[in-house]
């Protein structure tokens, strides 16, 4: 996979995080194909109208922060326009009372290149859950 495509996928992830944390529902939706999907702790969302809801959590009293790292990108075999992405999520919220760690997990994404732009086809957030020995 070309390095400029990998960089563009990293940029897609950053655009998504800035949009969702910045209260930009149109920006969130624009990161997905028109029939793209998201599944996570917030529920299941399909299509731009529903995906916009993900970008509506910012308030004066609650600032969300998604921090994503350890991004691994693998091109789909036989399809140069599709890739699979796995990354770690650290999520916290800023409130008038301070900073609060909320959760961590793994994003598992399918991204596609259409008309020179990478977008999410699907994004699944799986929370980290430790089990007692």
User: What value does the mean pLDDT take over residues 94-110?
Assistant: 95
| Bigger pLDDT: 79 vs 82 | 82
Tell me if 133 is assigned to some domain: no
pTM of the model: 0.92
As a whole-number percent, the residues of the chain with pLDDT over 70 amount to 100
CB of 31 closer than 8 Å to CB of 19: yes
Tell me if 39 is assigned to some domain: yes
Alpha helices in 1-133 (DSSP H): 3-21, 25-30, 47-51
> What total of structural domains would you count in the chain?
1
Tell me if 101 is assigned to some domain: yes
User: What value does the mean pLDDT take over residues 22-42?
Assistant: 95
Tell me if 132 is assigned to some domain: no
In this prediction, residue 72 has a pLDDT band, given cuts at 50, 70 and 90, of very high
Tell me if 44 is assigned to some domain: yes
What CATH number does the domain containing 82 carry? 3.10.450.50
Compute CA 86 distance to the chain's CA centroid, rounded to the nearest angstrom: 10
Question: In whole angstroms, what is the distance from residue 21 CA to residue 66 CA?
Answer: 7
Q: By C-alpha distance, which of 106, 112, 57 is closest to 80?
A: 112
In this prediction, residue 55 has a pLDDT band, given cuts at 50, 70 and 90, of confident
Tell me if 13 is assigned to some domain: yes
Domain limits for position 45: 3-127
User: What value does the mean pLDDT take over residues 35-59?
Assistant: 91
Tell me if 29 is assigned to some domain: yes
As a whole-number percent, the residues of the chain with pLDDT over 90 amount to 80
In this prediction, residue 90 has a pLDDT band, given cuts at 50, 70 and 90, of very high
Tell me if 52 is assigned to some domain: yes
């Amino acid at each position: 996979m070309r390095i400029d495509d990998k960089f563009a996928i990293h940029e897609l992830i950053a655009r998504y995080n800035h949009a969702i944390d910045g209260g930009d529902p149109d920006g969130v939706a624009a990161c997905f194909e028109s029939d793209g999907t998201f599944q996570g702790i917030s529920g299941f969302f399909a299509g731009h109208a529903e995906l916009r809801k993900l970008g509506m959590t910012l308030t004066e009293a609650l600032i969300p922060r998604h921090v994503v790292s350890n991004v691994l990108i693998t091109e789909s075999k036989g399809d140069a326009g599709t890739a699979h992405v796995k990354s770690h999520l650290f999520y916290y919220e800023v409130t008038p009372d301070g900073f609060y760690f909320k959760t961590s997990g793994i994003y598992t994404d399918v991204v596609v290149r259409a008309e020179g732009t990478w977008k999410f086809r699907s994004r699944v957030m799986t929370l980290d859950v430790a089990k007692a020995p």
